[in-house]
Structure formats: structure tokens, C-alpha cells
């Protein structure tokens, strides 16, 4: 018995929305211009009753909102996309929506809802035999475990993902092979920067440096602002811990990497991630005895988290301030 292929998105919409995402990620097109184009594309798809195309546009719009920290908007667009994908019988894309809804709940600090969506996604991906989605769901769950402080569980999961993502994913007829390889490398950046953060938290300098450096090299090869911002943050944490391990020709100043991280994240207006870098830099400055500068960075992080409604993260940054009293 042959498996019936899923319906697809039109090549034109697939290509244009991918291009818009790439231009925004690389800082070549501003957020406002990208969103105006998404609105126009949704209007056209809706008028022509091209609901699969409309779902894909909603999905990619949601990705940008999530990266910017507009989590309510992101969830709304992901849910719109999911409902349209369900109606169109596009099961793999429904899983992708659930993965991203879960990740957005994780970033908001709602770990119960996040875990529910990660579990749903993983089980569905396992049933379909879709290795990339299995890896994505496991990475997201591991990042949630890091946020909760369960570093041993997170480490084990991430090391499993490292092995699964180290080889090319099976071909997908709906996706360009080059874009699939870029996606695989993006997963590897997520895995390695998260491992680096775990090892920095444990003060395991050799491992922190190894994975931070690996994330940094891959992120810069992709030249994606968001990923470079993540990798620079991991480098800042690792160099703070072990400046003596820095290779010749690599900048040994942690603040260089934190500032680079903020600049890359600012290029795509990722405010929540900027605040996370400020928090990491504040902790680093405390460890280096630079209390005045640390206070300023932590205050900036608290202000951004509070404005975005990320109360738990604002409290975490405020706790770091209290530790200096």
C-alpha cells in the first residue's frame, strides 16, 4: 500500500515567503516591509481561495513575530496556519505548527503548555518517521529543561540530537536540498550553543569552549543574524569562564561577543533575545568583578523583559541584581 502524498504549497508562495524570511534574518529587509508584503500575500491567497498558500504565509509570519518576542501575535498566526493545514490534510505542516506553538509557550515561560505541544509533536513525527521534526521537538524540549534548571536531562537530550543532526536529513520532495542543509546546520547551532550554555553554567570550561566555538563557526557560515546573535552569546559566556582557552587570533574579550550578539539581534529587532544577552552579560560582569557595569546591564534586561510581559525572566534578572547587594 502506497502512502498518499500530502497536498503542497504553490512554488511561488514557497519561494517568496522563504525569500522574505531570509532577507529579514540577514537584516536586508526591515520588519515593517516584510509584514506589509505578508498581509498582501494573505489577501491575495484568501481572495483566490488558495488556503494552503494562506496557511504557509501565516506560518512564516508567525516565525518572525516569535523571533521578535511578539509571542501573542506569533501564537495567533501559528494557530491560524495550523487550522488551515488541518483542513488541507497537511499533516507534517501541522506538526511544525505545534512545534512552534510549544516553543513560543516555552519562551513565554509557560512550560506546562510547551511540554504538551512538544510531546504531541514528537509522537506525531515518530509515527511519520520524520527525523528532522523528531530532532526539532527534542531540541525544543531540551531548551525548556535548561530554562527549568534540569541540566543533566537537557544535556543527554541535546547529545542525542547532536548525533541525529550530524548527518544530512532524508530528502523532502517539497523542499530545496540547499535549504534543508541550511536548516540542519541551524539545528546544529541550536544544539551546540545550548550545550555550551549548560557547560558554562557548570563551569566546565573545555566543553563550554568546544561547543561555543562550534556554534560560532556554523552560525557565521550561515550568516543569519539571529543565529549569529545566539552563537556570540554562547561565546561570551564561554570566554568569560575560560579566557585562557581562547585560540590564537580569536578575541579574548567576553564583552566583544556580548556586544556582537546584541548588534545581530538588534538587526532583526529580537528584543526578548537582546534582553537574554544582557542578562548573560550582566552575570559575566559580576563574575569579573565589574559590578557597576553589571548593574546597568541587568537593569536594562529587567526593563525589556517587563515591557514584553516576560515576568519570570524579569524576576530572574532582578534576582541577579539582588545577589550583588
Q: Where are the domains of the chain?
A: 189-268, 270-325
Q: Which residues make Cβ contacts (< 8 Å) with residue 268, sequence separation at least 6?
A: 24, 25, 27, 31, 67, 68, 225, 226
**pTM value > 0.85:** yes
Q: Give the per-residue pLDDT at 290.
A: 95
Which residue blocks in 69-90 are alpha helix, DSSP H?
71-87
As a whole number, mean pLDDT of residues 112-138 equals 94
Q: Give the per-residue pLDDT at 32.
A: 95
pLDDT in tens, 151-209: 999 999 999 999 999 999 988 877 788 989 999 999 999 999 999 999 999 999 999 99
Give the helix/strand (H/E) hosting 99. Answer: helix 91-108
d(CA 37, CA 32): 9
- CA nearest 11: which of 183, 179, 174? 174
- Binned at pLDDT 50, 70 and 90, residue 226 comes out as very high
d(CA 81, CA 104): 15
The CA distances from residue 194 to 48, 98, 142, in Å, are: 43, 21, 9
- 5 backbone dihedrals φ, ψ, rounded to 5°: -65, 150
- Binned at pLDDT 50, 70 and 90, residue 4 comes out as low
Residue 5 has pLDDT above 70, yes or no: no
d(CA 317, CA 277): 11
Amino acid at each position: 500500500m502506497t502512502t498518499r502524498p500530502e497536498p503542497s504549497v504553490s512554488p511561488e508562495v514557497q519561494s517568496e515567503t522563504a525569500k522574505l524570511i531570509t532577507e529579514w534574518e540577514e537584516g536586508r529587509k526591515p520588519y515593517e516591509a516584510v509584514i506589509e508584503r505578508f498581509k498582501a500575500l494573505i489577501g491575495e491567497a484568501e481572495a483566490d481561495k488558495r488556503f494552503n498558500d494562506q496557511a504557509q504565509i501565516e506560518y512564516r509570519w508567525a516565525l518572525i513575530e516569535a523571533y521578535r518576542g511578539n509571542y501573542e501575535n506569533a501564537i495567533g498566526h501559528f494557530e491560524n496556519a495550523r487550522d488551515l493545514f488541518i483542513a488541507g490534510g497537511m499533516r507534517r505542516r501541522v506538526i511544525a505548527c505545534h512545534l512552534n506553538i510549544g516553543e513560543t509557550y516555552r519562551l513565554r515561560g509557560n512550560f506546562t503548555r510547551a511540554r504538551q505541544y512538544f510531546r504531541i509533536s514528537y509522537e506525531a513525527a515518530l509515527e511519520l518517521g520524520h527525523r528532522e521534526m523528531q530532532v526539532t521537538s527534542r531540541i525544543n524540549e531540551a531548551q525548556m529543561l535548561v530554562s527549568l534548571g534540569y541540566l543533566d536531562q537537557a544535556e543527554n537530550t541535546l547529545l542525542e540530537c547532536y548525533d541525529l543532526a550530524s548527518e544530512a536529513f532524508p530528502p523532502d520532495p517539497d523542499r530545496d536540498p540547499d535549504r534543508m542543509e541550511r536548516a540542519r546546520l541551524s539545528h546544529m547551532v541550536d544544539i551546540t550553543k545550548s550545550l555550551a550554555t549548560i557547560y558554562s553554567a557548570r563551569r566546565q570550561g573545555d566543553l563550554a569552549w568546544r561547543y561555543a566555538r562550534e556554534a560560532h563557526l556554523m552560525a557565521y557560515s550561515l550568516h543569519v543574524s539571529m543565529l549569529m546573535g545566539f552563537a556570540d552569546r554562547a561565546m561570551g559566556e564561554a570566554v568569560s569562564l575560560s579566557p585562557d582557552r581562547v585560540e590564537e587570533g580569536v578575541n579574548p574579550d567576553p564583552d566583544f561577543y556580548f556586544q556582537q550578539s546584541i548588534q545581530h539581534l538588534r538587526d532583526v529587532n529580537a528584543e526578548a533575545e537582546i534582553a537574554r544577552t544582557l542578562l548573560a552579560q550582566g552575570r559575566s560582569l559580576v563574575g569579573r568583578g565589574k559590578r557597576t557595569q553589571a548593574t546597568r546591564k541587568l537593569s536594562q534586561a529587567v526593563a525589556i523583559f517587563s515591557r514584553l510581559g516576560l515576568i519570570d525572566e524579569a524576576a530572574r534578572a532582578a534576582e541577579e541584581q539582588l545577589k550583588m547587594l
